[in-house]
């Protein structure tokens, strides 16, 4: 397996949204957004304990390359990765909803990549899909670290649990596909292409799972992760970019709908 070290971190909630939350709320909500932004910066610069304790690469033996293998860990509200193993193909089903959703969502992504593209896991070589839930106390993001998936809880008001949207799970796992296939960066044009691929695969995984065609799809990214305190329908709208939310806290969705913008 190619050993690619990535310190870039894409969270499904971009920093401009978290900055808005930090600046337009008070007390707990503001503190939570600030703490999330600071932790994202630590992850990006490799200062977080998390990246020092990276799990060992989960390369598959040749015999297992076309089998779906998932491990879901529970960080038990710490920032330590990967945490305690909570569910796998060889373990009884967990009763924890976030564990279940991380497991099912990574499975749906695996199935789509394999059934539609013949891709054996995200590296094409049967890599085990590792996820950690209950990351931190109210961490407001979901992200791919370069090795595994990480999911926060959200604060329950502005963001709910980040495992709730399968397109968010598939978006982040697709950063893994891009990392192994093309190693696109996270800045400028390549960054935009990287993000777009993740949104496109993300929504297709949801459509595939629900048996929807293009007309039936809502084309929304993160429709289930916005909390009750936010006026909006999702983090991004692929059908109508720039209309996902218009809210006193988050501001207006700035997503451009055309290259000229």
- Per CB under 5 A, residues contacting Zn ion are 10, 195, 198
Q: How far apart are CA 103 and CA 72, in angstroms?
A: 6
Q: How far apart are CA 209 and CA 237, in angstroms?
A: 19
Q: Which is nearer to Zn ion, 130 or 195 (CB)?
A: 195
200 Cβ contact partners less than 8 Å away, ≥ 6 residues apart:
238
User: CB–CB of 35/60 below 8 Å?
Assistant: no
Of 198 and 255, the one with the shorter C-beta distance to Zn ion is 198
Judge whether 175 and 144 are in contact, CB under 8 Å.
Answer: yes
Question: Which residue's CB is nearer to Zn ion, number 87 or number 173?
Answer: 173
**Residue 207 in contact with residue 214, Cβ under 8 Å?**
yes
Closest-approach residue to Zn ion (CB): 10
Nearer to Zn ion, 55 or 191 (CB): 191
The minimum distance between CB 96 and Zn ion, in angstroms, equals 25
Token look-up 């710490």 returns 78
Name the nearest CA neighbour of 25 among 138, 168, 165. 138
Main-chain phi, psi angles of 232, to 5 degrees: 175, 170
Cβ 64 to Zn ion shortest distance, Å: 28
What is the closest distance, in whole angstroms, from the C-beta atom of residue 211 to Zn ion in the complex? 25
Helices first, then strands: H and E counts in the chain: 6, 9
Nearest distance in Å: CB 184, Zn ion? 11
Q: Whole-angstrom Cα distance, residue 11 to residue 231? A: 21
Question: What minimum distance in Å lies between the beta carbon of 171 and Zn ion?
Answer: 6
**Cβ at position 89, least distance to Zn ion in Å:** 27
19: helix, strand or coil: helix
For Zn ion, the closer of residues 10 and 48 by Cβ is: 10
For Zn ion, give the closer residue by CB, 61 or 188: 188
């Amino acid at each position: 397996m190619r050993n690619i070290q990535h310190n870039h971190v894409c969270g499904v909630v971009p920093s401009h949204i978290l900055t808005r939350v930090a600046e337009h709320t008070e007390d707990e909500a503001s503190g939570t957004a600030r703490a999330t932004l600071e932790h994202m910066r630590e992850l990006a610069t490799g200062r977080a304990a998390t990246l020092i304790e990276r799990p060992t690469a989960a390369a598959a033996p040749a015999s297992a390359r076309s089998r779906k293998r998932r491990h879901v860990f529970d960080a038990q509200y710490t920032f330590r990765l990967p945490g305690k193993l909570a569910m796998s193909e060889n373990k009884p089903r967990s009763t924890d909803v976030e564990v279940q959703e991380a497991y099912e969502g990574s499975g749906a992504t695996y199935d789509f990549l394999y059934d539609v593209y013949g891709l054996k896991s995200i590296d094409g070589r049967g890599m085990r899909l590792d996820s950690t839930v209950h990351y931190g106390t109210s961490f407001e993001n979901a992200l791919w670290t370069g090795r595994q998936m990480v999911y926060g809880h959200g604060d329950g008001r502005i963001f709910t649990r980040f495992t709730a949207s399968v397109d968010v799970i598939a978006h982040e796992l697709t950063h893994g596909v891009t990392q192994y296939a093309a190693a696109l960066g996270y800045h400028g044009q390549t960054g935009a292409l990287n993000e777009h691929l993740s949104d496109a695969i993300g929504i297709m995984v949801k459509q595939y799972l629900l048996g929807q065609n293009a007309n039936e799809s809502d084309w929304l990214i993160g429709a289930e992760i916005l909390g009750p305190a936010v006026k909006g329908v999702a983090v991004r709208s692929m059908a109508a970019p720039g209309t996902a939310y218009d809210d006193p806290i988050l501001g207006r969705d700035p997503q451009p709908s055309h290259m000229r913008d």
